[in-house]
């Protein structure tokens, strides 16, 4: 019998640089890898999502829609995949249904094929409308289970959620393990449970690698029937990122499974990003392996967020207390999985609790989470904290789908964008402004200046390396270099730090 083919989603162009280097990679550093990625034989190429969209306009002066169209052009044979925050789209609030429809329609029109639709609370009502829109656009609607561990999360519960997603029209199910909490046995049990209950629905498994256990989880997932797994090319893998693509290929050799990926192409992709990665070293996290996440449940991105909030308050030394507070706040909120935006909401409230006393001050977002304005969680919310949230927010809890309370807003969003300097009148610009209204107006003004690469140049890296070497040898004083930028030679002097 020939081995069963396991599809692979390559995440280097989205989640890998999001997780490893704060989403800072510029499009120009990805372009040269695209032909090899396109020809390597991946099931899909993940390349777009909330954080990449945000970073494009916030840090890189890059139009995220142009980025998507460029990927489409450079990878004509690939399924392009994005991560969509359900009713939140790529932003942090719920949007009214027509905005959801418009966003999906425009993303499809600009080249997107596979929409991985998730909701931070796993509330199916928050995914339904986006999934419908994806199907209407004739694209692949992937329903997502965000994986977490808690007293209320069980294998049976996850299998039931998969059924709800299938009933909503999901063409495949993603098991999304953003914090590397998915151990091998539950991976096996959940996937076996879904396959046994619902037959041959496609299952995609997404794991981060931070706890060190999840390459084994991918193997067990495959043994249980998983169809597609997410990995990152080795030079963009591990730490808070993902398992290496080439390691998956090697792991499956001699088993009943194969990826059929083209190793020569993988080597080229690996070499490309091995050259690029050092440019972004200043954005990298120091974490390699952390099994403490099994108790704190804090994904890498959330930890660095809380660290910077604490430092800004001159309380950088209190991170341990905050890490202990997070599981408590999570339990009070009904055990939501921690992923955008629940990770930010729970993390910030944990910081407030440590700095000001437990629930002495509630953030507006945390009050909304406690009152149901982000949707339903699996667990019961702490009634005492609900009372505090009611008193502070001066509103009552809700049980309806949050977006049902929203009024039509598309026309208003169109007129807001029309008034902005540099906005070009397209629906894409309306959506960019709708997603990130605090950032988009500044981006529209500077867009014509073109993309900005925040990575270091080869000359800067060489100068830094030389300065470090001299420092190690005890040589002080500036070192002079001649560097060539845009064809012109400049003399620069680098002082040891
Ligand atoms: C995002 O929504 O951007 C995540 O990575 C979860």
ipTM here: 0.96
* pLDDT band of 479, cuts 50, 70, 90: low
Q: What is the DSSP letter of 114?
A: E
Mean pLDDT on 474-484? 63
Residue 85: CB within 6 Å of ligand 1?
yes
Residue-wise pLDDT for 365-406, tens only, equals: 999 999 999 999 999 999 999 999 999 999 999 999 999 999
Residues near 19 by beta carbon (within 8 Å), at least 6 away in sequence: 208, 239, 240, 241, 242, 300, 301
Quote the pLDDT of residue 338.
95
Residue 119 Cα distances to 221, 327, 340, angstroms = 22, 20, 9
Residues near 169 by beta carbon (within 8 Å), at least 6 away in sequence: 131, 132, 135, 141
Mean pLDDT on 176-193? 97
Query: How far, in Å, CA of 375 to CA of 14, rounded?
Result: 27
For the residues of 199-242, what is the DSSP string, one character each?
-S-EEEEEEB-TTS-HHHHHHHHHHHT--EEEEB-GGG-STTSB
Mean pLDDT on 242-253? 98
Mean pLDDT on 92-102? 97
Residue 49: CB within 6 Å of ligand 1?
yes
Residue 51: CB within 6 Å of ligand 1?
yes
Give the mutation target among 11, 49, 116 for probing the ligand 1 site: most ligand atoms within 8 A of CB.
49
339 CA: nearest ligand 1 atom: 6
Mean pLDDT on 208-234? 98
Rounded to 5 degrees, φ, ψ at 439 are -115, -35
Mean pLDDT on 348-362? 96
Which tokens sit at 471? 């420092």
* Chain centroid offset of residue 126 CA: 18
Query: How far, in Å, CA of 222 to CA of 199, rounded?
Result: 15
Helical pair 427-435 and 64-74, crossing angle rounded to 10 deg: 120
31, 47 Cβ separation under 8 angstroms: no
Query: How far, in Å, CA of 372 to CA of 208, rounded?
Result: 29
Residue 340: CB within 6 Å of ligand 1?
yes
Position 496 pLDDT exceeds 60:
no
Rounded to 5 degrees, φ, ψ at 328 are -65, -45
Mean pLDDT on 170-179? 97
**Closest residue CA from atom 1 of ligand 1:** 50
Position 92 pLDDT exceeds 90:
yes
Determine the distance separating the centroid of ligand 1 and the alpha carbon of 13, expressed in angstroms.
13
Mean pLDDT on 436-460? 96
Residue 413: CB within 6 Å of ligand 1?
no
Among 57, 56, 118, 55, CA closest to 82: 118
Identify the weakest region by mean pLDDT among 303-312, 321-330, 356-365.
Answer: 303-312
* pLDDT band of 468, cuts 50, 70, 90: confident
**Closest residue CA from atom 4 of ligand 1:** 340
**In what helix (H) or strand (E) does residue 472 lie, and over which residues does it extend?**
helix 458-472
Query: How far, in Å, CA of 12 to CA of 237, rounded?
Result: 8
For the residues of 143-167, what is the DSSP string, one character each?
EEEE---STT--HHHHHHHHHHHHH
Determine the distance separating the centroid of ligand 1 and the alpha carbon of 240, expressed in angstroms.
14
Mean pLDDT on 26-42? 98
Determine the distance separating the centroid of ligand 1 and the alpha carbon of 90, expressed in angstroms.
8
18 CA: nearest ligand 1 atom: 5
Residues near 471 by beta carbon (within 8 Å), at least 6 away in sequence: 496, 497
Residue 358 Cα distances to 7, 150, 166, 350, angstroms = 46, 21, 40, 8
* pLDDT band of 11, cuts 50, 70, 90: very high
pLDDT > 90: percent of the chain:
86
85 CA: nearest ligand 1 atom: 2
Mean pLDDT on 245-264? 98
Determine the distance separating the centroid of ligand 1 and the alpha carbon of 481, expressed in angstroms.
41
Residue 226: CB within 6 Å of ligand 1?
no
Determine the distance separating the centroid of ligand 1 and the alpha carbon of 58, expressed in angstroms.
16
Quote the pLDDT of residue 305.
76
Quote the pLDDT of residue 481.
57
Position 73 pLDDT exceeds 90:
yes
Burial (CB < 10 A; 0-12, 13-18, 19+), residue 59, is middle
Residue-wise pLDDT for 207-220, tens only, equals: 999 999 999 999 99
Query: How far, in Å, CA of 177 to CA of 297, rounded?
Result: 11
Residue 339: CB within 6 Å of ligand 1?
yes
Query: How far, in Å, CA of 273 to CA of 235, rounded?
Result: 6
Per the prediction, the chain carries an average pLDDT of 94
Give start and end residues of each alpha helix (H) in 75-154: 97-109, 125-136
Mean pLDDT on 350-376? 97
Give the mutation target among 14, 16, 17, 18 for probing the ligand 1 site: most ligand atoms within 8 A of CB.
18
Mean pLDDT on 444-466? 94
Mean pLDDT on 78-94? 98
24, 283 Cβ separation under 8 angstroms: yes
Q: What is the pTM of this model?
A: 0.94
Query: How far, in Å, CA of 100 to CA of 209, rounded?
Result: 32
Residue 89: CB within 6 Å of ligand 1?
no
Determine the distance separating the centroid of ligand 1 and the alpha carbon of 479, expressed in angstroms.
43
Mean pLDDT on 2-21? 96
Determine the distance separating the centroid of ligand 1 and the alpha carbon of 176, expressed in angstroms.
11
Rounded to 5 degrees, φ, ψ at 479 are -115, 135
Query: How far, in Å, CA of 342 to CA of 114, rounded?
Result: 24
Residues 470, 471, 477, 481, CA torsion sign: positive
Residues near 179 by beta carbon (within 8 Å), at least 6 away in sequence: 148, 208, 210, 293, 297, 298, 299, 300, 338, 339
Among 53, 148, 156, 155, CA closest to 107: 53
Position 497 pLDDT exceeds 50:
no
353, 359 Cβ separation under 8 angstroms: yes
Which tokens sit at 315? 């309380």
Number of Cβ within 10 Å of residue 445's Cβ equals: 13
Determine the distance separating the centroid of ligand 1 and the alpha carbon of 50, expressed in angstroms.
6
Residue 6 Cα distances to 151, 266, 362, angstroms = 32, 16, 46
54 CA: nearest ligand 1 atom: 3
Residue-wise pLDDT for 42-54, tens only, equals: 999 999 999 999 9
Among 280, 237, 265, CA closest to 28: 280
Residue 166: CB within 6 Å of ligand 1?
no
Residue 75: CB within 6 Å of ligand 1?
no
Reduced to 3 states (helix: H, G, I; strand: E, B; else coil), residue 49 is: coil
301 CA: nearest ligand 1 atom: 5
Determine the distance separating the centroid of ligand 1 and the alpha carbon of 476, expressed in angstroms.
45
**In what helix (H) or strand (E) does residue 483 lie, and over which residues does it extend?**
strand 479-485
- Between residues 191 and 323, which one has the greater pLDDT? 191
Determine the distance separating the centroid of ligand 1 and the alpha carbon of 86, expressed in angstroms.
11
Identify the weakest region by mean pLDDT among 141-145, 262-266, 369-373, 473-477.
Answer: 473-477
Quote the pLDDT of residue 482.
62
50, 90 Cβ separation under 8 angstroms: yes
Determine the distance separating the centroid of ligand 1 and the alpha carbon of 339, expressed in angstroms.
7
Reduced to 3 states (helix: H, G, I; strand: E, B; else coil), residue 328 is: helix
120 CA: nearest ligand 1 atom: 6
């Amino acid at each position: 019998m020939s081995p069963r083919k396991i599809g692979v989603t390559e995440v280097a162009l989205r989640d890998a640089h999001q997780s490893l280097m704060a989403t800072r990679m510029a499009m120009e550093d990805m372009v040269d890898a695209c032909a090899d990625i396109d020809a390597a034989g991946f099931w899909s190429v993940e390349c777009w999502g909330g954080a990449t969209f945000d970073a494009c306009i916030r840090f890189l002066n890059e139009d995220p829609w142009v980025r998507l169209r460029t990927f489409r052009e450079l990878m004509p044979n690939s399924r392009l995949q994005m991560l969509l925050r359900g009713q939140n789209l790529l932003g942090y609030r719920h949007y009214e249904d027509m905005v959801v429809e418009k966003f999906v329609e425009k993303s499809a029109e600009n080249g997107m094929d596979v929409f991985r639709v998730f909701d931070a609370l796993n509330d199916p009502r928050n995914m339904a409308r986006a999934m419908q829109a994806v199907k209407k656009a004739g694209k692949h609607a992937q329903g997502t289970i965000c994986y977490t561990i808690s007293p209320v999360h069980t294998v049976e519960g996850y299998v039931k959620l998969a059924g709800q997603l299938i009933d909503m029209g999901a063409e495949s199910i993603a098991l999304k393990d953003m914090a590397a909490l998915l151990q091998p046995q539950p991976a096996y049990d959940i996937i076996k449970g879904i396959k046994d209950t619902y037959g041959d629905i496609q299952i995609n498994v997404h794991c981060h690698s931070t706890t060190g256990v999840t390459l084994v989880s991918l193997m067990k997932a495959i043994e249980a029937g998983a169809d597609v797994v997410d990995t990152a090319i080795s030079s963009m893998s591990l730490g808070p990122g993902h398992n290496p693509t080439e390691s998956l290929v090697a792991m499956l050799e001699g088993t009943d499974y194969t990826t059929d990926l083209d190793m020569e192409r993988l080597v080229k992709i690996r070499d490309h990003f091995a050259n690029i990665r050092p440019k972004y070293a200043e954005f990298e996290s120091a974490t390699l392996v952390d099994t403490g996440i099994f108790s704190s449940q804090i994904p890498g991105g959330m930890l660095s967020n809380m660290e910077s909030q604490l430092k800004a308050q001159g309380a950088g030394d209190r991170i341990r207390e905050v890490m202990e507070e997070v599981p408590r706040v999570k339990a009070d909120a009904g055990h939501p999985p921690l992923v955008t935006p629940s990770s930010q909401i729970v993390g910030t409230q944990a910081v407030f609790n440590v700095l000001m006393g437990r629930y002495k001050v509630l953030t507006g977002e945390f009050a909304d989470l406690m009152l149901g304005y982000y949707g339903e969680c699996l667990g019961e919310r702490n009634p005492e904290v609900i009372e505090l949230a009611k008193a502070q927010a001066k509103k009552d809890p809700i049980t309806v789908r949050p977006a049902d309370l929203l009024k039509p807003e598309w026309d208003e969003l169109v007129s807001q964008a029309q008034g902005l300097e540099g906005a070009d009148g397209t629906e894409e610009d309306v959506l960019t402004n709708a997603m990130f209204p605090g950032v988009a107006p500044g981006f529209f003004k500077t867009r014509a200046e073109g993309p900005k690469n925040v990575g270091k140049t080869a000359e800067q890296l060489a100068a830094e390396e030389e300065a470090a070497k001299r420092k190690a040898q005890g040589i002080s004083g500036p070192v002079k270099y001649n560097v060539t930028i845009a064809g012109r030679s400049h003399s620069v002097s680098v002082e040891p730090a």
